[in-house]
Amino acid sequence: MSYGQQYPDVSELPAAAVQLNHTAVYASDRHLSAEFIAAILGLKVGAPFGPFLPVDLGNGVTLDYYEKRDEPIQSQHYAFIVPEAQFDTMIARLEAVGVTYYADPGHTEPGRINRLFGGRGAYFDDPDGHNLEIMTRPYVRP
């Protein structure tokens, strides 16, 4: 089999319950990036695991920061549901370290938050330009 051909038909099967467990997040400096997200979101940087520097999100998912020094880092988007009671604190932490947040993913509304889906949200860049999003309510998808 190759990609783009007919895949097995699973449409009649019950949907599997699959949980994301970890993903590698590329960074030019894994300590800088892991410590940044941990400081903003109120998490802890774990012990190095081989080339990975983990940040446990507390929901069974770990971000494994992995250093890629010799090539440009392709910006990815990571969105986090955060407790409503912590949102203001996270915004204040961004302000304290001088990182601009935006109401929109395209970063055209600096210093503002959004109120999508009855919650609050904001976007900001990590040290390598990964577009991070904090939101208090998940997207309502059709």
Q: Which is nearer to Fe ion, 126 or 133 (CB)?
A: 133
Q: Is 81 in the site for Fe ion (CB under 5 A)?
A: no
Q: Is 117 exposed, middle or buried (0-12, 13-18, 19+ CB in 10 A)?
A: middle
Select from 5-13, 62-70, 72-80, 109-117 the region that touches Fe ion (CB under 5 A).
72-80
CA angle 123, 56, 54 (to 5 degrees): 95
Please, what is the minimum distance in Å from the beta carbon of residue 133 to Fe ion? 5
In a 3-state reduction of DSSP, which class is residue 87? helix
> How far is the C-alpha of 54 from the C-alpha of 66, rounded, in Å?
9
Q: Of 38, 39, 61, 79, which lies in the binding site for Fe ion, with binding defined by CB under 5 A?
A: 79
Cα→Cα distances 19→1, 22, 60, 79, Å: 26, 9, 8, 16
The least distance separating Fe ion from the CB of residue 77, rounded to whole angstroms, comes to 6
- What is the greatest pairwise CA distance in the chain? 53
- Report the nearest approach of Fe ion to the CB of residue 28 (Å): 23
**Shortest distance, position 29 Cβ to Fe ion, whole Å:** 25
By CB under 5 A, residue 43 contacts Fe ion: no
Binding to Fe ion, residues 95-134 (CB under 5 A): 133
Please report, as ranges, the residues that interact with Fe ion according to CB under 5 A. Answer: 79, 133
